[in-house]
Amino acid sequence: MGWSPENAANAYLDTLKLRSQDHGRRNEAQKSVEPESIEFISALAAGMGAKLIVQVSPKASQSTVALAAAARRTGGRLVCILPEEESLASTKEVIEESGLNDIVEFKVGDPYELLPEYENIDFSLVDCKSDSYTGLLKLIDVNPRSSVVVANHLEGGKEGLRGDVRGLNKGAVRSLKRPIGEGMEVTMIGKIDEAGTMATRGSPEPKRASRGGGRRWWSRKKSKWVKKIDESGEEHIFRLPQSL
């Protein structure tokens, strides 16, 4: 499936609406992620058509709701891995109140044991607030054709994947820190063709440049502005890329 601006826009608005509804009952943990990053990851996951989405987090957050909203748009599912049984009840409550309980599969246990059970993950989000969680990034079995790995809370000098994805040549991977959220790194995985260029699912053919023996990839395709009016009549204008 190629990049869908419509899915991205709808997931963005779904997340915006759910966040607004949840504003009154949000706890401190849910406030820890900035709204811009919530809407960004939802639009990104939905736009790329992610079917298998996996999140590893100490407890429920707005990111959980955002990813579930994206999975609903793509007809996929969200697997939410939680380390402690105590956090399960409150997490389920957040999802049920958002009307997304049929989209989310909860797994409780050691993330280092549970995460390797999932293969060809299209989109993954790991909360790296705990130092022990950073190592989980290298356990993710990504879809080699097209996948996105998001590491959040990479603060205080913490390092994310930095292009080092298990089983893949670094040339097929590009990592970048986003100027949103709290220390968010976004790693995009695409397939390398015979010419040595990378194209993610649904993206235009990239252009290659060489500098100092390395390679860089970028797309000429521009982003576009999208205007949507939600059910309350409020108008939202935001920008989305045509493709990854």
* Residues 6 or more apart in contact with residue 175 via CB below 8 angstroms: 160, 161, 162, 163, 185, 186, 187, 188
Question: How far apart (Å, rounded) are the C-alpha atoms in residues 120 and 99?
Answer: 27
* Whether 146 contacts 116, CB under 8 Å: no
In one-letter notation, the amino acid at residue 98 is: S
The pLDDT tens digits of the residues spanning 166-192 come to 556 554 667 666 655 667 888 888 764
The tens digit of pLDDT for each residue in 192-233 reads: 443 334 444 444 333 333 334 333 333 344 555 555 555 555
More confident residue, 188 or 234: 188
C-alpha 85/C-alpha 36 separation (Å) is: 30
Per-residue confidence (pLDDT) for residue 80, from 0 to 100: 95
Main-chain dihedrals φ then ψ at residue 67, nearest 5 degrees: -70, -35
Q: Which of 5-19, 64-78, 180-194 has the highest mean pLDDT?
A: 64-78
**pLDDT for residue 144:** 86
Distance CA 25, CA 35 (A): 15
pLDDT score at 113: 96
Of 17-21, 62-66, 171-175, 187-191, give the range with the top mean pLDDT. Answer: 62-66
Residue 149: strand pairing partners: 124, 187
**What would the pLDDT profile of 134-146 be if each residue is shown by its tens digit?**
789 889 999 988 9
pLDDT top residue among 105 and 132? 105
Top pLDDT among 174 and 68 is at 68
Average pLDDT, the chain: 74
* Beta strands, E only, 97-233: 104-108, 123-127, 146-152, 173-178, 184-192, 198-199, 207-211, 214-218, 223-229
Q: Give the Cα separation of 100 and 234 in Å (integer).
A: 23
Q: Which neighbouring-strand residues pair with 235?
A: 229
- Assigned CATH class of 5-241: alpha beta
Residue type, 12: Y
- Does the pLDDT value for residue 31 go beyond 70? no
Q: Is the pLDDT of residue 106 over 60?
A: yes
What percent of the chain clears pLDDT 90, i.e. is strictly above it?
34
Task: Check residue 169 and give its pLDDT.
Answer: 58
Query: How many other C-beta atoms can be found within 10 angstroms of the C-beta atom of residue 145?
Result: 14
Residue 234 has pLDDT above 50, yes or no: yes
What is the reported pLDDT for 105? 94
For tokens 């007809």, what's the residue? 75
Hey, how many other C-beta atoms are within 10 angstroms of the C-beta on 58?
A: 15
Q: Between 90 and 44, name the one with better pLDDT.
A: 44
Reduced to 3 states (helix: H, G, I; strand: E, B; else coil), residue 105 is: strand
